[in-house]
Structure formats: structure tokens, C-alpha cells
């Protein structure tokens, strides 16, 4: 393993942060507990756009495909889980009447609120989906890069919660990058969350039907719909 590149000041700090983010085993170690995951993300957001959503060709292409998979449907209300600084939110806003964008990072939420100040169609809230219930439903729940940071019990609880937040006939869009754990047959038994494990588990949930499922070399995108009679 190469040592993190960069010397001196902010550039060195940013290089260390990028190295931590790219090392799957280290990232999961640092987010093994709820308080640890909150601290980890606050540190990541010290520097804006830590995942280079606005500048990375890979991220831009993934964002484009994540919206394209929705087809031509227009949604009245959308819940964006893990919105970060709101860099992806405008893409959802193009496809709906109203977006509720949530994240548990205080730094990220402050930047998202500044970004959408004066935009009545965007509601930005600080919320941890692992601990908070909502009393409303949405036509689309969009969730990217979330479940890696949960244990199996949290995964089951939050997964059921997301389905409850879907209105009958509503869509759930999942986007997760693949990792070394997707190639390990025993990942589920060892508690390692992979894109394959996450998306396949949702595919088997009662009350959901699969509309599209794209397994690409670096990430997976799955669109599911809650049936009219479905219950989480």
C-alpha cells in the first residue's frame, strides 16, 4: 500500500483524507460505531466537496445515469437521503416538484442550506435515518452510498424505514459503488456490506418490485417500486 501523497498544509491534509476515503477497510473501521461515523463525516466535510462530486468525470457520469434510470417519470415529492452539500440535489429538482434533502453532517447541511437559500422547492434538514422516523411519504426516495456504514441490524431497520417512507406506487432508487467485498462470497456472513448484498436484500423485500437493475463495473444502480398493497 502506498503512503498518502502530499506535503505540507491543506494539500497534505486533503491527500490523507482522500487516502482514507479510498481504503475500504480503513473507512469501515473508522465508521464502526454511530458516534464514529458522525465524527468521520464531519472531518471529511472540513474541506468542501470531499468526494469531488462537482469535478470528477466518474461522479458526473454516475449522477447522470442515476437520474436517467428513473425514466420519464415526474415525481411530486422526493426524499434525498444522505444529500451531503446538495451537489446532486439539482438533478432531482429537475424531475420533481419538491425535494426534502437530509443528512446527519452539520457541516454538509449548513452548506446545502446556503446553496438552496431562497429556493422554496428544496427543504434541507439535518436528520439521521438510523435514529429518526418521518411521518410523511414520498413518491421517490433516493439513496446513494449509505448502507456501507451500518451493521446488519441497522441495515434491516433503516431499509424497512425507507420502504415505509415510500407512498404506494412510489420509487426507491439505490446507488452504491462496488468494492473488494462484492467479490467475496462470504461477505454477508462476516458483516461486510457490499453493493451486491445491499441491493440484493432490497430486491427481496416484500412489497417492492424491481424496475431496473444495472450492475456496472464500478457501481450498481437499482430502481424499485412499492406496490399499491405493499407493506414494509
Kindly report, residue by residue over 172-187, the tens digit of the pLDDT: 999 998 864 444 444 4
Residue 34 maps to a domain: no
Model confidence pLDDT, tens digit, residues 132-169 = 999 999 999 999 988 877 888 889 999 999 999 999 99
Answer whether residue 49 is part of any domain.
no
In a domain, 197, yes or no: yes
Which pTM does this prediction carry? 0.81
Paired with 209 in beta bridges are 225
Tell whether the model's pLDDT for residue 170 goes beyond 50: yes
Strands (E), the chain: 75-81, 96-103, 122-126, 138-144, 166-177, 208-215, 219-226
CATH at 164: 3.40.50.150
CA 94, CA 50: separation in Å to the nearest integer?
Answer: 24
- The percent of residues above 90 in pLDDT, for the chain, comes to 60
> Is 38 among the domain residues?
no
- Name residues whose C-beta falls within 8 Å of residue 68's C-beta, 6 or more positions apart in sequence: none
Write the pLDDT tens digit of every residue in 211-228: 999 998 889 999 999 997
Q: pLDDT above 70 covers what percent of the chain? A: 76
For residue 102, tell me if it sits in a domain: yes
Host domain of residue 216:
57-226
- Is residue 120 in a domain? yes
Answer whether residue 85 is part of any domain: yes
Which residues pair with residue 101 across a beta bridge? 80, 124
Kindly state whether residue 81 falls inside one of the protein's structural domains. Answer: yes
Q: Are 139 and 106 in contact (CB under 8 A)?
A: no
Per-residue pLDDT tens for 38-92? Answer: 787 888 888 899 888 999 999 999 999 999 999 999 999 999 999 999 999 999 9
Eight-state DSSP code of residue 148:
G
Residue 63 makes CB contacts below 8 A (sequence gap 6+) with 53, 88, 91
If one counts the domains in the chain, the total is 1
Q: Over the Cα atoms of the chain, what is R_g?
A: 17
Amino acid at each position: 500500500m502506498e503512503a498518502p501523497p502530499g506535503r505540507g498544509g491543506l494539500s497534505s491534509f486533503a491527500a490523507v483524507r482522500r487516502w482514507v476515503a479510498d481504503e475500504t477497510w480503513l473507512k469501515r473501521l473508522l465508521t464502526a460505531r454511530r458516534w464514529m461515523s458522525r465524527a468521520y463525516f464531519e472531518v471529511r466535510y472540513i474541506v468542501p466537496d470531499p468526494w469531488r462530486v462537482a469535478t470528477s468525470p466518474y461522479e458526473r457520469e454516475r449522477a447522470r445515469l442515476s437520474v436517467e434510470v428513473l425514466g420519464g417519470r415526474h415525481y411530486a415529492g422526493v426524499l434525498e437521503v444522505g444529500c451531503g452539500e446538495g451537489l446532486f440535489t439539482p438533478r432531482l429538482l429537475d424531475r420533481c416538484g419538491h425535494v426534502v434533502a437530509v443528512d446527519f453532517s452539520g457541516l454538509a447541511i449548513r452548506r446545502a442550506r446556503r446553496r438552496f437559500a431562497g429556493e422554496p422547492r428544496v427543504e434541507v434538514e439535518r436528520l439521521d435515518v438510523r435514529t429518526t422516523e418521518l411521518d410523511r411519504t414520498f413518491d421517490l426516495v433516493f439513496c446513494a452510498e449509505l448502507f456501507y456504514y451500518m451493521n446488519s441490524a441497522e441495515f434491516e431497520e433503516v431499509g424497512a424505514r425507507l420502504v415505509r417512507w415510500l407512498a404506494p406506487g412510489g420509487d426507491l432508487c439505490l446507488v452504491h459503488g462496488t468494492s473488494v467485498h462484492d467479490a467475496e462470497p462470504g461477505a454477508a456472513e462476516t458483516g461486510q456490506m457490499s453493493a451486491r448484498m445491499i441491493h440484493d436484500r432490497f430486491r427481496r423485500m416484500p412489497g417492492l418490485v424491481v424496475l431496473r437493475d444495472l450492475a456496472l463495473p464500478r457501481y450498481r444502480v437499482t430502481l424499485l417500486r412499492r406496490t399499491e398493497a405493499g407493506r414494509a
